[in-house]
């Protein structure tokens, strides 16, 4: 079959062909259109149904594909969006909303009050996604004519307008025309859930043109959008479901990806930053990272032990070694949130104070008998370093820390009961709406048993203070109450507040103008609601500026 | 025992194996801590919604009852709903499995053909520099995981020398051809869409080679050692003594029996490709079953996990049967009953 000479000829032929195939491919690569699209990557899958999803990818889709009654601004305030006017009753129980006229859904139907009623009822019935924001608060919703909506609340809820950002309006007629009658919602069949996996029924600036699950989602400009477009807004945006570092790096280098995901490692971001034309942007995400201390198990049931741990923690080590460039979190609330108080100082490292607190503790004489277990999700690599720093810090005051890494599923199971909740849990908490109340309300006793409150604080005083603040309709008064609660929580020290988490992205700075970058350069902040910093109407693309 | 009897017996045994696998994976999935409904709906979902989902998934019933519901479902082709994609799992399998099949078929082809050719060349040039190079490369191929090849390929051919696409099955400016088989290359040939075919081929080639290299190296080594082993056997010597041409001895009398261990290992390696495809699909953003498998495992999507594992188990079982049939064809002395 093969002589050496024949073999040589075959090998050479393979080499020649292998050069020809790539050349042909390069020809293909050259004809790939560099249009005005924005491609970004995030963890898959985005849910297109606003009554189902709530993750980062889904939130980006909702912000761009649907409209809401109000819209979050970069200064933290809420502005009318679909609403022409909103009148709130003095007791804060009734919201009368007048809708703008002439807003079109993607299929050309006019958006009317009945669609708002339908969307609210749908999300409350399904109960998934952002449904938890409306189920406990909304008593009834009704329409009066095509543009008038009335929402009645069960009890006054100050941040209600902030939560309305996450009520996305669907076209009732379109959803009802695409029901699967086999569903679990009686006359509503599946409430359109099946159809909305790959379609949209929105009125937002972009409409879904292709959804290939596990691969990409493409949304194109809705030319009849009521707010119009800038000429350089993206013609379409493409969501790709990969966060694999090598793939991300290659795509950024080839200008096939405009904005990277936020979950790349520090090393990966550093590599992306080195690509010509690519820059990093980082801003407060609104999420907070802390060590939640179980206040019902010895020794962390003793406030002095908790305070000792808070005083001895190596905050600088975390900010320098684990989250370079991030800011310190000093209270339960991210500084990005309206209602946060920048004057709160919080706990700073102080060995003397830590030793004093330990001495005041009832466990001082037998600390050896009460080791502290610190738990975190095994899937979260960074938490290793935080746990080690916590262990090393605690050792300085004689508190022994055992590190217990658990699969996330096991951790969820453990925190559901007070007895099985570890003494300390390293966790990140994200906001549910754009106001400080979202972080404060997690200390309500009703949150115990979930990963949002592993402290098991169960304080009637704190519950009353929080409920009172949330029921306060006047924004200024509510914010003052938030500050008071934060100080009280600091005094009880159920949590060691570590990092005000940054959201970091690499982006193509030579041909992309990104609204959030402009805001930051002018000393502003990012929009404190998930998904809205990727609002495509705040992005402009100049393909001709792209470096070859 | 004739072939039909053998097949019947193996299929019956395989069904028992698959039943055992289904029980094992079902129980393992349920005893691992963590409430899938709560994980899927989030920390703040109202308890009523969580309870409703648990009820829909029968998670509130004894495990034996849960298994009954689940097993009767899969007999009817209903694997339940995926918490990851929110669709029936069977719809997911129908969409993602062809992508993996296409990748694995091409990989298997490259693995078998490449391994065979390299093994033959290595034997032919035994103990020369050619043999040495192939052996060294084969060792490297065997010890290097597929995902490492995948990362290297993406960096080299996607970034440093960007000549191949490194993401997905098809460029976004092209549409998928009408779906007949789910296999993009075949469907584009049926539709006569040659640009789509070429584009799809250029997308699949890197992941297919990355996936094939490990098995290819293994096959090359086994073919070589088997051929060298048989070369010194008496029957080869007697063929030589009869004056049969060397070429005929090599390809007719030496190669065929030497292929038996290669085929056996190939069968297993082919099934293993589905497992190795997990990370390769992640690296190349290949929307296949293996990538789906990883994602559903991370989400503790019980229905989808069970379906993926049952499907992969069935593939292993089928490949074992096929391997036995091919081996018996290559050497009729090997009785199927054995």
A247 CB within 8 Å of a chain B CB = yes
**pLDDT computed for residue A49 by the predictor:** 95
CA A469 to chain centre: 24
Number of Cα atoms under 13 Å in the Cβ half of residue B103? 32
- Does the residue A35 lie in any domain? no
Q: Which of B35, B92, B120 shows the shortest C-beta gap to A412?
A: B35
How far A341 CA sits from the closest chain B CA (Å)? 25
pLDDT at A344: 92
Overall average pLDDT of the A210-228 stretch: 93
Continuous segment of H or E residues that includes residue A363: none
Numbers of helices and strands, H then E, in chain B: 14, 0
Token code pair at residue A422: 């570890």
Residues of A (373-392) whose Cβ lies below 8 Å from B = 379
Q: Give B139-193 as a DSSP string.
A: HHHHHS-HHHHHHHHIIIIIIIS--S--SSSS-TTSPPPP-SSS-HHHHHHHTT-
Secondary element (H or E) of residue B325:
helix B302-330
- Look at residue A32 in the predicted model and tell me its pLDDT: 41
The residues, ordered by sequence, that sit 6+ positions from A464 with a Cβ below 8 Å of its Cβ are none
The residue that leads in pLDDT, A155 or A183, is A155
Give contacts of A10 with chain B, Cβ < 8 Å.
none
Q: What's the pLDDT tens digit per position in A298-321?
A: 999 999 999 999 999 999 999 988
In a shared domain, residues A322 and A337: yes
pLDDT over 50 (residue A517): yes
Within-domain flag for A467: yes
pLDDT at residue number B334: 67
When pLDDT is averaged across residues A200-225 and rounded to a whole number, the result is 94
Q: Could you count the other beta carbons within 10 Å of the beta carbon of residue A102?
A: 9
User: Do A288 and A332 form a contact (C-beta atoms < 8 A)?
Assistant: yes
Per-chain mean pLDDT for chain B: 87
Q: Do B163 and A25 touch (CB under 8 A)?
A: yes
Q: Which fold has domain B90-330?
A: MetI-like fold (1.10.3720)
pLDDT of amino acid B43: 67
Is the predicted pLDDT of residue A94 greater than 60, yes or no?
yes
- pLDDT > 70: percent of chain B: 97
Q: For residue A371, is pLDDT > 80?
A: yes
Query: Per the structure block, which two tokens stand in for A360?
Result: 């005041």
- A250 in B contact zone (CB under 8 Å): yes
Cβ–Cβ < 8 Å for A393, A312 = yes
**pLDDT tens sequence across B81-114:** 888 888 899 999 999 999 999 999 999 999 999 9
Q: What is the nearest CA distance from B32 to chain A, expressed in angstroms?
A: 7
pLDDT higher than threshold 70 for residue A529: yes
A56: left (phi over 0), alpha (psi -120 to 50) or beta: alpha
Interface predicted TM-score (ipTM): 0.78
Residue with tokens 């970034």: B159
Contact A238 B168 (CB under 8 A): no
Question: So what's the pLDDT on residue B30?
Answer: 78
pLDDT level of residue A412 (50, 70, 90 thresholds): confident
CB-nearest to B84 from A25, A45, A451 is A45
Are A47 and B86 a contacting pair at CB < 8 A? Answer: yes
**Per the domain annotation, does A527 fall within a domain?**
yes
For the residues B159-178, what does the mean pLDDT come to? 84
**A328 and A471 fall within a common domain:** yes
If pLDDT is split at 50, 70 and 90, which confidence band does A462 have?
very high
- Let me know: does A451 contact A410? Beta carbons within 8 Å: no
Do both A315 and A369 map to the same domain?
yes
Is pLDDT of B332 > 90? no
Residues A481 and A530 in one domain: no
If asked whether residues A497 and A536 sit together in one domain, one would say: no
> Is the Cβ of A194 closer than 8 Å to some Cβ of chain B?
yes
The pLDDT confidence band at residue A102, using thresholds 50, 70 and 90, is very high
Q: Which residues of chain A make contact with B168, given a CB cutoff of 8 A?
A: 215-216
| Mean of pLDDT values over A143-170 | 95
Is A29's pLDDT higher than 50? no
Chain A: closest CA distance from residue B163 (Å):
5
What b/e readout covers A445-467, taking b as 16+ CB neighbours within 10 angstroms?
A: eebbbbbbbbbbbbbeebeebbe
User: Does A32 reside within a domain?
Assistant: no
CB-based contact, A213 to chain B, within 8 Å = yes
| CB within 8 Å of B278: residues ≥ 6 apart | B290, B291, B293, B294
Residues A529 and A479 in one domain: no
3-state SS, residue A471: coil
Residue A488 has pLDDT above 60, yes or no: yes
In a domain, A47, yes or no: no
pLDDT digits (tens, 9 = 90+) for B20-54: 998 888 888 777 777 777 777 776 777 778 888 88
Per DSSP, the residues of B235-296 read HHHHHHHTT--HHHIIIIIIHHHHHHHHHHHHHHHHHHHHHHHHHHHHHTT--SHHHHHHHH
The closest of A473, A391, A401 to A437, measured between CA atoms, is A473
Residues A323-361 pLDDT 10s? 888 899 999 999 999 999 999 999 999 999 999 999 999
Closest CA to A166 of A526, A532, A439, A447: A532
Q: How many angstroms from the chain centroid is the CA of residue B227? A: 27
A22: in domain? no
Decide if A11 is inside a domain.
no
CA B256 remoteness from chain centre: 25
> Token pair for residue A510?
């030579």
For position A418, what pLDDT does the model report? 93
Mean pLDDT of all residues in A282-297: 94
DSSP state of A318: I
Q: Are strands A70-72 and A83-88 parallel, antiparallel or unpaired?
A: unpaired
- In chain B, which residues have their Cβ closer than 8 Å to the Cβ of A47? 86
Whether A70 has a pLDDT exceeding 70, the answer reads yes
Task: State which of A136-140, A183-187, A284-288 shows the largest mean pLDDT.
Answer: A136-140
pLDDT band at A28 (very low <50, low <70, confident <90, very high): very low
What local confidence, expressed as pLDDT, does residue A1 receive? 52
Are residue A268 and residue A295 in the same domain, yes or no?
Answer: no
Which of A321, A310, A316, A318 lies closest to A346 in space, CA to CA? A310
The number of distinct structural domains making up chain A is 2
Query: What mean pLDDT comes out for the span A59-66?
Result: 96
Q: Are residues A434 and A457 in the same domain?
A: yes
The mean per-residue pLDDT over the stretch A184-195 comes to 91
Residues A492 and A523 in one domain: no
Touching check for A13 and chain B: CB below 8 Å?
no
> For the domain that residue A62 is a member of, what is the CATH number?
3.40.190.10
pLDDT at residue number A183: 80
Q: What is the mean pLDDT of chain A?
A: 90
Q: Do B33 and A24 touch (CB under 8 A)?
A: no
Domain that holds residue A298: 284-502
How close is the nearest chain B Cα to the Cα of A449, in Å? 9
Question: Most B CBs within 10 Å: which of A409, A448, A453, as the mutation test of the B interface?
Answer: A409
Q: Is any Cβ of chain B less than 8 angstroms from the Cβ of A304?
A: no
Least confident of A18-22, A470-474, A535-539, B113-117: A18-22
Residue A513: predicted pLDDT = 95
| Residue A28, in any domain of the structure | no
CB–CB of A250 and B250 under 8 A? no
pTM: 0.84
Whether residues A269 and A367 fall in one domain: no
| pLDDT reading at A251 higher than 50 | yes
Hey, is the C-beta of A1 within 8 angstroms of any chain B C-beta? yes
Domain ranges of chain B: 3-75, 90-330
B-chain residues within 8 Å CB-CB of A530?
A: none
Answer whether residue B12 shows pLDDT above 50: yes
Do A539 and A450 lie in a common domain? no
Residues 131-150 of chain A with CB under 8 A from chain B are: 131-132, 135-136
pLDDT beyond 90 at B215:
yes
Is residue A254 less than 8 Å (CB to CB) from chain B?
yes
């Amino acid at each position: 079959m093969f002589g050496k000479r024949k073999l040589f000829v075959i090998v050479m032929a393979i080499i020649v062909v292998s050069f020809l195939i790539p050349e042909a491919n390069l020809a293909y690569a050259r004809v790939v259109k560099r249009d005005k699209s924005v491609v970004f990557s995030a963890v898959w899958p985005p849910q297109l149904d606003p009554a189902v999803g709530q993750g980062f990818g889904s939130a980006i889709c909702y912000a761009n594909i649907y409209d809401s009654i109000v819209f979050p601004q970069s200064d933290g305030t809420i502005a009318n969006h679909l609403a022409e006017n909103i009148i709130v009753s003095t007791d804060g129980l009734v919201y009368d909303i007048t809708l703008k006229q002439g807003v079109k859904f993607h299929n050309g139907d006019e958006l009317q009050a009945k669609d708002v009623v339908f969307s609210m009822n749908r999300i409350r019935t399904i109960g998934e996604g952002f449904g938890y924001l409306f189920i406990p608060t909304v008593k009834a919703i009704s329409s009066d004519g095509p543009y008038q909506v009335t929402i009645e609340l069960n009890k006054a809820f100050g941040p209600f307008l902030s939560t309305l950002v996450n009520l996305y309006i669907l076209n009732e007629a379109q959803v009802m025309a695409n029901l699967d009658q086999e569903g679990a919602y009686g006359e509503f069949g599946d409430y359109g859930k099946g159809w909305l996996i790959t379609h949209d029924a929105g009125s937002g600036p972009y409409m879904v043109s292709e959804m290939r699950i596990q691969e990409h989602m493409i949304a194109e400009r809705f030319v009849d959008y009521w707010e119009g477009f800038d000429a350089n807004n993206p013609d379409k945006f493409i969501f790709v479901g990969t966060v694999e570092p090598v793939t991300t790096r290659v795509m950024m280098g080839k200008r096939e990806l405009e904005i990277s995901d936020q979950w790349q490692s520090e090393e990966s971001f550093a590599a992306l930053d080195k690509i010509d034309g690519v820059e990093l942007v980082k801003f407060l995400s609104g999420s907070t990272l802390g060590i939640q201390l179980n206040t019902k198990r010895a020794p962390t049931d003793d406030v002095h032990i908790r305070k000792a741990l808070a005083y001895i923690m190596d905050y600088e080590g975390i900010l320098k070694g684990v989250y370079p460039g991030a800011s310190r979190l000093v209270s339960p609330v991210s500084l990005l949130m309206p209602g946060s108080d920048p004057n709160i100082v919080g706990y700073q490292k102080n060995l003397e104070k830590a030793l004093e607190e330990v001495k005041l503790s009832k466990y001082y004489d037998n600390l050896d008998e009460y080791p502290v277990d610190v738990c975190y999700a095994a899937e979260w690599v960074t938490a290793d370093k935080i746990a080690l720093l916590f262990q090393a810090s605690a050792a300085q005051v004689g508190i022994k820390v055992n590190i217990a890494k658990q699969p996330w599923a096991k951790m969820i199971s453990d925190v559901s009961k007070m007895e099985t909740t570890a003494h300390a849990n390293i966790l990140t908490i994200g906001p549910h709406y754009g106001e400080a109340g979202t972080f404060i309300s997690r200390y309500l006793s009703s949150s115990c048993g979930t990963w949002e409150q592993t402290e098991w604080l169960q304080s009637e005083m704190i519950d009353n203070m929080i409920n009172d603040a949330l029921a306060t309709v006047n924004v200024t008064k509510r914010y003052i109450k938030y500050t008071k609660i934060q100080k009280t929580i600091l005094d009880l020290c159920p949590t060691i507040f570590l990092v005000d988490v940054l959201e970091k992205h690499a982006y193509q700075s030579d041909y992309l103008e990104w609204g959030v970058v402009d805001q930051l350069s002018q000393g502003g902040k990012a929009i404190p609601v998930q998904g809205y910093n990727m609002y495509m109407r705040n992005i402009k693309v100049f393909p001709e500026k792209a470096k070859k | 025992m004739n072939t039909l009897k053998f097949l019947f017996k193996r299929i019956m045994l395989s069904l028992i194996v698959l039943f055992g696998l289904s029980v094992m994976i079902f129980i393992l999935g349920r005893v691992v801590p963590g409430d899938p409904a709560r994980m899927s709906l989030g920390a703040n979902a109202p308890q009523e919604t969580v309870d409703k989902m648990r009820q829909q998934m029968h998670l509130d019933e004894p495990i034996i009852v849960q298994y009954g519901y689940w097993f009767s479902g899969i007999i009817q082709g209903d694997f339940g709903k995926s918490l990851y994609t929110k669709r029936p799992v069977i719809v997911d399998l129908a969409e993602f499995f062809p992508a993996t099949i296409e990748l694995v078929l091409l990989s298997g082809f490259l693995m078998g053909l490449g391994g065979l050719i390299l093994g033959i060349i290595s034997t032919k040039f035994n103990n020369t520099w050619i043999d040495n190079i192939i052996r060294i490369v084969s060792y490297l191929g065997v010890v290097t995981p597929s995902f490492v090849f995948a990362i290297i390929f993406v960096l080299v051919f996607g970034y440093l020398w960007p000549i191949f696409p490194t993401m997905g099955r098809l460029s976004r400016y092209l549409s998928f051809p009408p779906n007949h088989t789910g296999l993009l290359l075949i469907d584009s040939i049926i539709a006569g869409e040659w640009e789509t075919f070429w584009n799809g081929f250029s997308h699949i080639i890197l992941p297919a080679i990355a996936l094939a290299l490990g098995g290819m190296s293994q096959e090359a080594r086994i073919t070589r050692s088997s051929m060298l082993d048989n070369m010194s056997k008496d029957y080869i010597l007697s063929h030589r003594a009869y004056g049969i041409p060397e070429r005929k001895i090599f390809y007719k009398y030496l190669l065929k029996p030497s292929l038996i261990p290669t085929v056996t290992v190939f069968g297993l390696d082919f099934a293993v490709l589905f497992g190795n495809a997990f990370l390769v699909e992640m690296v190349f953003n290949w929307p296949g079953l293996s990538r789906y498998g990883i994602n559903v495992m991370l989400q503790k999507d019980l229905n989808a996990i069970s379906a993926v594992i049952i499907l992969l188990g069935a593939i292993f079982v089928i490949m074992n049967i096929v391997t036995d049939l091919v081996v018996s064809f290559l050497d009729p002395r090997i009785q199927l009953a054995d």
